Amino acid sequence: MNNQLQKQENKKEITASERFTSMVMKEFEGNIGELNLNDYQRQLIRNYFIGIDNALRIAETSRQLSTKKKDDPTVTWNNVNMNKLATDVVQNAKLGLDMSIPNHLHVVPYKNSKTGKYDLNLMAGYEGLKYIATQFSLYKIVDIKVELVRENDTFQPVYKNNIEGYEFKITNPFNRGNVIGGFGYIRYENEIHNKLVVMTVDELLKRKPSTASAEFWGGTKYNYTTKENEKVEGWTDEMLYKTMVRATCKKVTVDPKKVNRSYVYVIDQNESYYIESQEDKVNQEIEENANKEVIDITDSTEKLPASASYVENTAEQIDSQTNNKSSEGPSF
């Protein structure tokens, strides 16, 4: 009897995030092969569970509010393409991307019209891309600094002793003016490799996604209440900053000896599914449809809203969330 009680107690101690980790490992090994994860990578995967679970909750809430999506499958763990998710989770964990760090890693859920399941793309944010660039650089990076330059700032590229540098000063912090450009500076341990990346605001805007939403990039949007177009300020500066970070990270010379399957997989995912064009659109849906019908995103697959806000959780918040009930109790 005592042995049976002990077994029951041990079974109760297994958390949903731990079951998720075990499921991911089994799914991955069943499709790709043997998998060896260290303790830190396992912890990252457990953190992924919290972020993904939150994303599913938000997507399901939006589905319930939408008359167009009322007949779609519920956005729960049981309707997720676990095969693809397991691969995404393992490859990102192997790179060390942490969903509990702001702008490190985002979840982008969407319904796959061919399978009827929901695919969950894990996409590196701009801090995640800086982290990857630092880890896989051919030369040791000390820091990657990115700034937007405004009308009242002073900025001057400097080339001295065969070393690229710059002079940057914010002359009036309370009235800097409009953004006129940006720069990224990759500072290496050996300064001879230092790299300065400079772009005008027009060059940054050229990289604005064709599907960019007014909610984030600013512009004109249709007001369904007034039935008129209205100007939206958006978060243009933040979007320009993200664009500058991406352009800077692409200038890092990668060490071919460090490149592995996880690196290739994650970078390819980001290149083929540029997060700005999807994340902005997805977050726009949440903004616009918190209390009304969800607007479909036109694409080859039907996107569902998801929020990246959970990645701003602190370690303390994550610990507290593990005690909350997960969406529709994942069956794994």
The phi-psi region of residue 138 (left if phi > 0; otherwise alpha if psi is between -120 and 50; otherwise beta) is alpha
Q: Is the pLDDT of residue 201 over 70?
A: yes
> Percent of the chain, pLDDT > 90?
44
Q: Is the pLDDT of residue 216 over 80?
A: no
Looking at residue 139, what is its pLDDT? 98
Its sign, for the CA torsion 211, 298, 76, 284, is positive
Q: What value does the mean pLDDT take over residues 51-67?
A: 88
Q: What value does the mean pLDDT take over residues 130-151?
A: 97
| Residue 219: band (very low, low, confident or very high) from pLDDT cuts 50, 70, 90 | low
pLDDT in tens, 71-103: 899 999 989 998 889 989 999 999 999 999 999
Looking at residue 275, what is its pLDDT? 42
Average pLDDT in the chain: 78
| Residue 164: band (very low, low, confident or very high) from pLDDT cuts 50, 70, 90 | very high
Q: Residues 6 or more apart from 56 whose CB is under 8 A from it?
A: 75, 76, 77, 80, 109, 118, 327
Looking at residue 29, what is its pLDDT? 67
Return d(Cα 99, Cα 93) in angstroms, integer: 10
Comparison of pLDDT for 299 and 6, the residue scoring more: 6
Q: Which amino acid is at 216?
A: F
Look at residues 207, 154, 205, 157 and name the one whose alpha carbon lies nearest to residue 177: 154
Burial 228-243, CB ≥16 within 10 A → b, else e: eeeebebbbeebbbbb
> Percent of the chain, pLDDT > 70?
70
Q: Is the pLDDT of residue 55 over 80?
A: yes
Comparison of pLDDT for 255 and 325, the residue scoring more: 255
Q: Is the pLDDT of residue 232 over 80?
A: no
| Residue 221: band (very low, low, confident or very high) from pLDDT cuts 50, 70, 90 | low
pLDDT in tens, 108-138: 888 888 888 999 989 888 899 999 999 999 9
